Amino acid sequence: MKQLLPIIALQLFSVSAIVAQPRVEKSTINFRSSAFSMCLTPGHQICLATRMGEVALPGNTENTWVAVPPTDNKDGLGGPMIDNINFFNKDTGFVSGFISDRGSNVYNIYYRTANGGKQWQKMLLPDNGWVDDAVNLNNGEAWLSVSGTGHIDYTADFGLTWQQLSTPQPKERFAAIFFNARRQGFIGSLWNVLAYTPDNCKT
């Protein structure tokens, strides 16, 4: 009997350890593409996007997702490649990447929502190119690194209007960017160039 007690205690400990583990819920999102980007809103909601132009936002109940594609075939658009999803708050955000009108070689489109993805508005950036990376702050500021232009597109009004900021080496493809609330930023290129600005790209 004494030999059985440690075994019984060990089994009880194992069962209690299993019960104490957090419960994991699965939620299916029927994406056609496995490549996606992700952002976290100020309200701690996760938003997802794929390169095939699909977007999923949290639903009204726990462990549910709502698909809110910014585009469809009715507006004559084809094959938007979404690389970035950014939300300033639970309602206002945008998606960007490599997006053009069908048959056009101009890739300066991004999609903006002001109601949590229920409707999306097609809008234009000042630069034509692939938006490799995007970063935003909750105060309405955002920076987009547009490939091949020598520019970073910048907004201070939640993505309504944009202005061009210069990068130090136009031929570099700065595919990673970071900016903080003091408008200090780092940009990194695919060819091992790292640049720092203390004043929102003035120097």
Q: What total of structural domains would you count in the chain?
A: 1
Q: How does DSSP assign 24-39, residue by residue?
A: --------S-S-EEEE
**Residue whose tokens read 């790209």:** 201
**Residue whose tokens read 């992700």:** 38
Tell me the percentage of the chain whose pLDDT exceeds 90. 49
Residue 164 has pLDDT above 90, yes or no: yes
Residue 8 covered by a domain = no
Residue-wise pLDDT tens digits, 50-74: 888 888 887 765 656 777 777 654 5
Residues 101 and 124: beta-carbon distance below 8 Å: no
Residue 20 covered by a domain = no
Structure confidence at residue 14 as a pLDDT band (50, 70, 90): very low
Q: What is the pLDDT of residue 138?
A: 94
CATH number of the domain at 179, please. Answer: 2.130.10.10
Lowest-confidence region among 1-5, 115-119, 130-134: 1-5
Stretch 98-125: mean pLDDT: 88
Residue 14 covered by a domain = no
Q: What is the pLDDT of residue 13?
A: 40
